[in-house]
Structure 1
């Protein structure tokens, strides 16, 4: 048996210190259920320091990533208010940050079932997520990345728009005015609405409900790219405007 509290402390301290550690499963193998228990313990440590839950992020939302990791379902992590980026991201607190374009959903009312999650959406926006695995060289097993809160670090979003279907919205990410990634929301499980439903399913399965004011990041529409210092990033979504952040 592994010590969930000890593993959570190691991950939490690595994040606070900005220090990479070896994958936890190398010394103490554990399964996916235990990994989620570690994830929740990490978030509980953050909550005891005053952070508030702010939403859910989805991971492994592309078929290629599922195949790479040998899984047939998405994974998820939790967002807190301390992860919300303003106009800038302080990279000095991160280990090896990467950024990816996202579709973001704003939850307008408590979600009590998967069937009602789409009607509970109050807005949609283009967004971004900054990933920062706490593991050395960004290498990990499936249980490792789940325990590490699915590599969540920072997130942001643009202006909220009225809810709409986004099965094939074009996305462009630029760094210092240079296009670095282009893609479509169709890369997110074929339609980001499927990821939204998965978020509700996984949260409810864990005894949680998506809450009013929470944000759901549906998952990456492209591969993540390294986030350099002193950079300006802009993510634009067709019909959704843009969101910008500097480092």
Structure 2
């Protein structure tokens, strides 16, 4: 069945008990042929422009959301944070097609893929079969530019907990040390993203709506940006 999720975003992607990447919270998912018209659903930051205008969602709406998700995975930066209200977001992103710069992403193939995914026009966005094919080729190439570490760094982690010495039953406290753990490589991030969209082909029935999901009416006035 062709199911459009309508709310693909980082907080709805996670791991099962075996470490496999999975999509969670299908409360807004619908079969394409029963998607209602004139209904916005999902998180505005990841919502396709046509959905924010109240048009019917199809699979290309999820492609747009995936493009924003892929950007976030590749840069470790949440997009569109400068827009503090729905009105400001609509004016720049929806009406004027503003998108974040992709210059921080070293792979030209990834830059082109993300740009295609979040294109204004649904018909010009790639389908998921093309996306999977592109990511598969990238993962198999093992290019130097693709295997670099993330452009961002984590802050210092908290001091380690005391370690109990089993033989003496005494507590040994390690000296506090602030370590910057190795960040996943760009390749590892994209590999996880690839696994995510590959798993969507097995999606079946959608679950009931969750009370936390965004099922808004037409926006009136200035309201906070829903992310």
Structure with larger Rg: 2
Instruction: Name the structure with the higher strand share.
Output: 1
